[in-house]
Structure 1
Amino acid sequence: MRARTAPFTDSPALPVGPFRFIALDVETSCRDSASICQIGLACVRPDNRIVHFATYINPEQRFDAFNTDLHGISAAAVTAAPTFPEAWEWLFPFLELHHLVQHSSFDSKAIAAACRAYRLSNPDLSWSDSVKIARAAWPEFKGNGGHGLAHLKKRLGLVFQHHDAGEDARAAAEVVLQAETRLDQSFDQISQTTRKAQLRLRF
C-alpha cells in the first residue's frame, strides 16, 4: 500500500518505536540537492514489520519539469507543507535516536545540503547504505543490472512505486531485510558502518 503523505500539523504523527533501523528517502524539486520536497521513512520494528511515514516539504525553490515528471510533485502540492526547518524541528530529535538506511548516499547529502542552506547545525546522524548491503548480498548483480532500486525491484520481487519517498524508503528497508536472510547475518553485522553515539533502544 502506498505510504500516506502527512499534512503539516503542529503535532505530526510520527511512528512510535522502538525500531531496529529506519530507512529514509527524499525527493527534490530541482537539481539543487537542498531542494527537498518530500521525505519518506520506513521504520522497521523488532519483528520486521514496517511502519511508514511521509511528508511533503516546501523547498522554497523552483520545481523543474524533469523532477516533477519523475516524482509527480509540483509546487501546488507543497503550498501548505512545512519548510525544511519547520519539518526538521520535529524530525531530527526522532531520527537521531535511530540508525538510518539510505539507498546510495544522495539522501544524507541532500539533508546536509538543506541544513547548510538554512544555516542549521550539521546533523550528526548514523547512516548505512543499502546499495553497499545489496552488493554484499547479491554480488552477481554487478554488471548484470546493478544494485539500483529499479533492478532490485525486478530481481527481489519488491512491490513499490519508484520515486515516491515513502515507497522508496520502504523498498530500501525491504532490501536490507532480504539481505539479512540471504547473508544469514543481522543488521548490526551487515550495516557496514560505525554507529555514532545514540540512544540504544531496548527491544
Structure 2
Amino acid sequence: MNKFGHLTTLPDGPFRFIALDVETAGKTVGGICQIGLCFVSESGDMQTYSVLIDPEEPFEPFNTDLHGISAETVAGAGTFPTVFGALFEILNCHSLVQHSTFDEKALTSACARYGIPMITSHWTNSVLVARQAWPELKGAGGHGLANLKKHLGLKFHHHDAGEDARAAATVVLRAEDTQGTALSHLKINRQLAFQFEDRSRR
C-alpha cells in the first residue's frame, strides 16, 4: 500500500476495463515517473494500483510541485522498460480509459525511447464521454478532471496517477448512469481474458 491506499501488486482479472493515468518528470512527454491504474469489474467495483518509475531524466520543479514526486521519491524504483514489461500483458488484453489523450502519447513516447513494443489496446477518452454526458459544462469550466470533480462531487487527490485513474473510471461509470446506457465497447473480451488467465497459470 502507499499513502492513498493503492495496491502495489496487480489484482486478478479479467476486468470490464482499466483506466490509466501517468505523471511525468519534466520536459519530455515520455519521461514517466508514475503509472496509476484503476481496474473496473463487470459490477462496477474498482481497485486502484500505482507504481513509481525512475524516469532517467531530471525532474522539473513545476512537475514536482504538481504531483509531489521527485528524484528522491523514485530512488530505487524500476525504469520504464521493467515496470511497463510487468504491466504489458494485462494492459494489452483490456480496453483502456484515459482522461484526454496525454497518457497514450506518453506511453507511446516512452516505448519509442526505449525501443520496446507499445500496447495495441483500444483507448476510450473519458473527456469525450464527459462531453456527451454533461454538455452544459462547455464554457462553464470544461471537462477536465478538476472541474468534473467539483461538478460531480468526486473525491480524489488530483495529480496522483492512481487517484486520477480512479477519477477517470468514475467519470465513465457516472456518465453511463447519467445517459442510462453502457458503453458497449467496454466489456470483458472472453477470448482475450481466457488467454490472459491461461498464460498466468504457466
Alignment identity in percent? Answer: 52
Cα RMSD (Å): 1.7
Instruction: Give 1:90 deviation, angstroms.
Output: 1.0
**Aligned mate of 2:31, from 35, 45, 48:** 35
CA contact under 8 A between 1:3 and 1:166: conserved in structure 2?
A: no
Q: What secondary structure sits across from 2:18 in the alignment?
A: strand
Instruction: Give 1:20 deviation, angstroms.
Output: 0.7
1:62 aligns with 2:64: no
In the other structure, the counterpart of 2:198 is none
**Aligned mate of 2:75, from 79, 82, 98:** 79
Task: Flag structure 1 segments of 5+ consecutive residues without an equivalent.
Answer: 7-12
- Alpha-carbon distance in structure 2 between the residues aligned to 1:5 and 1:38: 14
**Aligned mate of 2:18, from 6, 16, 22:** 22
In the other structure, the counterpart of 2:4 is 2
Superposed CA deviations along residues 91-136 of structure 1, whole A, max 9, x for unmatched, are 0111011000000000000000000000112331210000000000
**Aligned mate of 1:156, from 139, 144, 152:** 152
Structure 2-normalised TM-score? 0.89
- Alpha-carbon distance in structure 2 between the residues aligned to 1:3 and 1:131: 26
- Quick one: which amino acid aligns to residue 14 of structure 2? P
In the other structure, the counterpart of 1:199 is 192
- Alpha-carbon distance in structure 1 between the residues aligned to 2:38 and 2:21: 9
- Alpha-carbon distance in structure 2 between the residues aligned to 1:140 and 1:170: 23
CA contact under 8 A between 2:91 and 2:119: conserved in structure 1?
A: no
In the other structure, the counterpart of 1:117 is 113
* Aligned ranges 1:169-184 → 2 under 5 Å: 169-184=165-180
In the other structure, the counterpart of 2:162 is 166
- Alpha-carbon distance in structure 2 between the residues aligned to 1:39 and 1:88: 9
Structure 1: 4+ residue segments shifted above 6 A:
none
Instruction: Give 1:53 deviation, angstroms.
Output: 0.4
Instruction: Give 1:5 deviation, angstroms.
Output: 6.6
**Aligned mate of 2:138, from 125, 138, 142:** 142
CA contact under 8 A between 2:40 and 2:169: conserved in structure 1?
A: yes
- Alpha-carbon distance in structure 1 between the residues aligned to 2:115 and 2:156: 34
Superposed CA deviations along residues 175-199 of structure 1, whole A, max 9, x for unmatched, are 000001011111226x6xxxx9x71
CA contact under 8 A between 2:7 and 2:48: conserved in structure 1?
A: no
In the other structure, the counterpart of 1:102 is 98
Task: Flag structure 2 segments of 5+ consecutive residues without an equivalent.
Answer: 195-202
- Alpha-carbon distance in structure 2 between the residues aligned to 1:18 and 1:175: 21
- Alpha-carbon distance in structure 1 between the residues aligned to 2:55 and 2:22: 12
Structure 1-normalised TM-score? 0.89
CA contact under 8 A between 2:107 and 2:118: conserved in structure 1?
A: no
